[in-house]
Structure 1
Amino acid sequence: MDLNLNHVAGMLGLLVVLIFTAETTHANTMYSLIQSGNTYQCTDVLESGDEASFHAENCRVRNFTAFDPQGKSLWLRIDFDGEAIPKAIEAPFAVYVFAKASSQVYLNGELIGSNGHPSALAENEVIGKMDVGFYLPTRLLKPGKNQLLIHFSSHHGYLDLHRSIHFVGLATYGKPSDFIQQNSQLALVLLGALLLGGLYFSILSFNPLQRRTSALLALMAFIAAAQLFAEASRGILSYAYPTHDLRLVAITSFAFTFGSLILGFIAHKFVRSNPWHWFYGGVISTIIAISLVPGFDGKTTLAIFVPSLVATIIVGIRAIQTKEFRLLGYFSVFLAFLITVLLTLGYFHELILYVIITLLLCYLFIQQARDYTKEQEQRRAEEKQVAKLEFKLAQANQQQSPEFITLHSANTVDKVSTDDINYCQASGDYAELFLGDNRQKLFSGTLKKLEGELPNTFLRVHRSYLVNLDKVASLRSEGGSGCLILLDGSRVPVSRRLLPEVRTAMA
């Protein structure tokens, strides 16, 4: 399979169609109790969540952003007004808790649900899900003041995250995934496009002429697909809360690998001397930047931003050195990519990241197709020149010292000068040789075998004919096929398939 613009354009067109035809879930209304109510935190509270316990010395009003149950057991109390719930949220209701913790939820003193089993002791904790929704009976919700109590514990995580509680609030009862990643269908479309691109370039990598470049593009597509799946897995899979740490590590690792591959691709393509110096320098700079940033969102951003910045510098330097117009396209695309990252820092890790990555890869796919097409055209032109030189050399040798072929018959052996042969025609298991002066000889072998014994001045013009190009007067095209007129007036048919090759040979 060869790489060409039609293939890549088809893939890009399919991607655009799928993106615009994918059904994306409309945003569902959620009422955040974190922002709307008063929050209190306690460390030792009766298992019933007795209200008096929240006025003990170990309890205090707490800003929710500082609430962290990692490695401990904590109680959270939120007071809220039932009449403040938006009208867009319709019954049946549910309390949603998106947190890296096990939890139990009480409303107005009554238990409405458990996610695992929280406990002050790690060995007594039952690990819960990362994202859960608890059905809220309408009878428990008061028009005025309501009290929500949540018992959290998080003893089994692998990392100490800066923020372990993401959301506590009310919404219409449904699946938690309906509220977490609401463009999951579009994410699956992008995932399919990336996997398709990776598979396509994996097949192309078997071509020795483009093995390294195609392999790099395939790896980039597969790694981007793996990162997208890790990102979307929260909305697809209902995983236990410790898995969230592993997911964050996976996303950052895939981002680092993708960024490194982008840098390696650009360095290999545009750096003529010591490309590995740029690659190692960019990778080391990325590792340093990642280690200095505390949050995983920042780490993931830098894992892609830093190597892309180095790649942009490489393209810019190369453009200045060579003044090639096509490099301005690479430079502009990478610069736009960097600017987009900076402008979307607040929501860079949403679906927009993967839309940008997919578009960037599509651009690289198209450029690679153009470069490969240009290389193929140049290679074909060189092959034509070589073929012409070989023919001229064979023609000169034939004129100076004609070659001979040996013909065996029942009792005789004849030697025939190849310069005397006008053309050859297949005749079953034999081949007829048409010589000057209307003479004919019979070769005891197939036309293919005869072709191997004749010099390069002979060309296959039909599955049944070989012609000595030195004996050709003209070529006529008739209805898509052709006909060679020889110097002695003989006519030899030319097949439609071989007509372009014959034209080239006679040019």
Structure 2
Amino acid sequence: MWRILLFSFFLMGSMSAAHAQDTSWQSCRGMVGQAGPVVSDCRPIAGSIDPQGQEIWVRSIVHSPTDAHVRVLYVAGVASSEAWLNGQRLGANGRPGATAQDEMPGRYQAIFPIRETVWRPGENELVLRLSSFHGGLRFARPMSAVAVLPYPYPPRIAPLAITFLAAGTLLAAAFGFGVIHAMRRTGTSLILAAMAGVATLQAIVESLRTLFDYSYPLHGWRMSAIWVLAAIFAVLLVRYVSSRFLPGAGRLMTLASLGLVPATVLLPGFDVKTIWALILGVALAVVPAAAGVWRRLPGARPSLAYLVLFLALALGLPEWFTDLSYFLLAAALVLPLLMVEVVRLSRDDRGREAALTRAASRPDRLTVASARGVELVPIAEILAVVGADDYVELRLVGGRGLLHAARLDGLASQLPANFLRIHRSVIANLSRVQRLEREGDRWWLHLNEGVPLPVSRSRLPALREALEDVPVAAAA
């Protein structure tokens, strides 16, 4: 297993060289003879080696090494394999076969040592027998690398160390946001905890190929998990940014992400699916972040700048972004948000304490924690209260709107009796009612100003009963 780990680090930087050797392979008819493999009718392979659903024989000419380093054959892909060099068997990974019953699945990554006595001066014939009947999913490039490499090679542990560092940071952030949610029950904290947790899981799954010598049939499950986790992160990102900077359109943006991001499953190749799931999520999140900048909401400008950077790296360096920078950027995104959330909650606590002290002698006012601070709003000027995730929107007379850091359920108990919940996300001031009107199969409550408010069927009887007891409503 340690040899797989060693060469995995090397291949992170030398995969282009391995891919270059893939182009020299030929597809042949073959069989195992007494003196080794017998191949005939060899033809150049246009594209990558693909043993999925079949048994194939492939042949390549490799040159003998010009230095004293020992060489190994590295094979990585969803296939069982058996290899020969100059007719000498190098070894087998599983057992290739002509049918699924004949095949014994091998590992995703295999290393075949090459003895010095096997080499001939000049050109050497390398023959592989491959089969893949247990992969489950079909891959656009089933063999990620087939290459003759020097052994040993100094390990490059930096990428794995960075991934582990990012995973630890994300795990700490997930724990921190989970604690905040347990204390405050805020939806954004729960979303951020989920984002950090999902990114942590993806970092772990990404590292499995390097850390564990798993059987090739599991590779499809691993790649599927990577795409699923990336898609979940993208949807959660859209949900968080929308609830933070454009709460009125949060549900619409989330539905858009749920429609677009899962559609990336139709794209070819898991790397393409994963990168486009992230790109679509970030692109959708840019919209509410830009709206927050236009509305001059705190935190909107740095969030937009970070999302644009996220998007630029994803489009400009997609492979690097998918393999490594995604974790760094995700960690760098959620960790500052954790610190900002802690500071904001502390500031809100101090502001609320001061405001509650001032409001104790003003029962006709509602203490509102908004983006501009804490202010006392006359309850008589509130037309309606509309829920928006962790916030509520107070619709006031004169067309003014004010976001209040409170939950709709908790606010309902603070308002006087003339305020009634008419929808799961709406509380209306009945003293401002003009009329109750039906349009098709939906009911709408019209106030003496502002847009009509939706009325749910389950709350319609209570509203009608309450309107009978409100003289202002009857007069209107």
TM over 0.5: yes
Q: Pairwise mapping of residues 258-277 of structure 1 onto structure 2 (< 5 A)?
A: 258-277=233-252
The Cα shift of 1:367 comes to: 3.4
- Give the structure 2 partner of residue 488 of structure 1: none
Q: 1:178 to 1:244 in 2, by over 3 A?
A: farther
Which amino acid in structure 2 is aligned with residue 185 of structure 1? Answer: A
- Give the structure 1 partner of residue 229 of structure 2: 254
- Give the structure 2 partner of residue 371 of structure 1: 344
Rounded Cα–Cα distance in structure 1 between residues aligned with 2:161 and 2:129 = 34
- Give the structure 1 partner of residue 385 of structure 2: none
Q: 1:25 to 1:272 in 2, by over 3 A?
A: closer
Matched, 1:188 2:170: no
Q: 1:314 aligns with which of 282, 285, 288?
A: 288
Deviation per residue, 1:278-299 (Å, 9 max, x gap): 21022212223x0442121111
Q: 1:50 to 1:297 in 2, by over 3 A?
A: farther
Give the secondary structure class of the aligned counterpart of 1:214. helix
Q: 1:37 to 1:298 in 2, by over 3 A?
A: closer
Q: Pairwise mapping of residues 215-230 of structure 1 onto structure 2 (< 5 A)?
A: 215-230=190-205
The Cα shift of 1:244 comes to: 0.7
Deviation per residue, 1:429-482 (Å, 9 max, x gap): xxxxxxxxxxxxxxxxxxxxxxxxxxxxxxxxxxxxxxxxxxxxxxxxxxxxxx
- Give the structure 1 partner of residue 269 of structure 2: 295
Rounded Cα–Cα distance in structure 2 between residues aligned with 1:378 and 1:285 = 41
Q: Does the CA-based 8 Å contact 2:237-2:282 persist in structure 1? A: yes
Matched, 1:61 2:36: no
Deviation per residue, 1:111-157 (Å, 9 max, x gap): 01110000111101011000011111111122311111110000001
Q: 1:326 to 1:264 in 2, by over 3 A?
A: closer
- Give the structure 1 partner of residue 151 of structure 2: 173
Give the secondary structure class of the aligned counterpart of 2:141. coil
Rounded Cα–Cα distance in structure 2 between residues aligned with 1:346 and 1:372 = 38
**Runs of at least 5 residues in structure 2 that lack an aligned partner in the other structure:** 1-7, 364-476
Which amino acid in structure 2 is aligned with residue 311 of structure 1? Answer: A
Rounded Cα–Cα distance in structure 1 between residues aligned with 2:348 and 2:281 = 28
Give the secondary structure class of the aligned counterpart of 1:206. helix
Q: Pairwise mapping of residues 25-424 of structure 1 onto structure 2 (< 5 A)?
A: 32=18, 34-35=20-21, 38-42=24-28, 44-48=29-33, 53-56=38-41, 59-63=42-46, 65-83=47-65, 87=67, 91-173=69-151, 183-208=159-184, 210-288=185-263, 290-320=264-294, 322-324=295-297, 326-386=299-359
Q: Does the CA-based 8 Å contact 2:242-2:250 persist in structure 1? A: yes
The Cα shift of 1:253 comes to: 0.2
The Cα shift of 1:259 comes to: 0.7
Q: Does the CA-based 8 Å contact 1:33-1:170 persist in structure 2? A: no
- Give the structure 2 partner of residue 409 of structure 1: none
The Cα shift of 1:160 comes to: 1.0
Rounded Cα–Cα distance in structure 2 between residues aligned with 1:29 and 1:341 = 22
Q: Does the CA-based 8 Å contact 1:34-1:169 persist in structure 2? A: no
Computed over aligned residues only, the root mean square deviation of the Cα atoms, in angstroms, reads 2.8
Aligned residues: 354
Deviation per residue, 1:204-241 (Å, 9 max, x gap): 21113x53222111111110011111111100111111
The Cα shift of 1:270 comes to: 2.0
Which amino acid in structure 2 is aligned with residue 334 of structure 1? Answer: L
Q: 1:163 to 1:33 in 2, by over 3 A?
A: closer
The Cα shift of 1:96 comes to: 0.6
Q: 1:34 to 1:331 in 2, by over 3 A?
A: closer
The Cα shift of 1:245 comes to: 0.6
Deviation per residue, 1:32-68 (Å, 9 max, x gap): 38528832112x3112497995333xx31223x3321
Give the secondary structure class of the aligned counterpart of 2:257. helix
Rounded Cα–Cα distance in structure 1 between residues aligned with 2:18 and 2:249 = 55
Rounded Cα–Cα distance in structure 2 between residues aligned with 1:268 and 1:325 = 13
Q: Pairwise mapping of residues 424-503 of structure 1 onto structure 2 (< 5 A)?
A: none
Q: 1:36 to 1:104 in 2, by over 3 A?
A: closer
Rounded Cα–Cα distance in structure 2 between residues aligned with 1:367 and 1:201 = 11
Rounded Cα–Cα distance in structure 1 between residues aligned with 2:252 and 2:204 = 32
Q: Does the CA-based 8 Å contact 1:45-1:53 persist in structure 2? A: yes
- Give the structure 1 partner of residue 474 of structure 2: none
Rounded Cα–Cα distance in structure 2 between residues aligned with 1:155 and 1:182 = 35
The Cα shift of 1:71 comes to: 0.4
Give the secondary structure class of the aligned counterpart of 1:350. helix
**Runs of at least 5 residues in structure 1 that lack an aligned partner in the other structure:** 1-23, 391-507
Q: 1:37 to 1:268 in 2, by over 3 A?
A: closer
Q: 1:265 to 1:326 in 2, by over 3 A?
A: closer
Which amino acid in structure 1 is aligned with residue 62 of structure 2? Answer: F
Rounded Cα–Cα distance in structure 2 between residues aligned with 1:347 and 1:143 = 39
Rounded Cα–Cα distance in structure 2 between residues aligned with 1:233 and 1:352 = 17
Q: 1:50 to 1:309 in 2, by over 3 A?
A: farther
The Cα shift of 1:327 comes to: 1.7
Deviation per residue, 1:335-390 (Å, 9 max, x gap): 11111111111332211221122112223323333432332232122133246779
The Cα shift of 1:186 comes to: 2.1
Rounded Cα–Cα distance in structure 2 between residues aligned with 1:109 and 1:25 = 30
**TM-score, normalised to structure 2's length?**
0.68
Which amino acid in structure 2 is aligned with residue 184 of structure 1? Answer: L
Rounded Cα–Cα distance in structure 2 between residues aligned with 1:36 and 1:211 = 53
Structure showing greater radius of gyration is 1
Name the stretch that deviates more: 183-192 or 358-367. Answer: 358-367
Name the stretch that deviates more: 211-220 or 30-39. Answer: 30-39
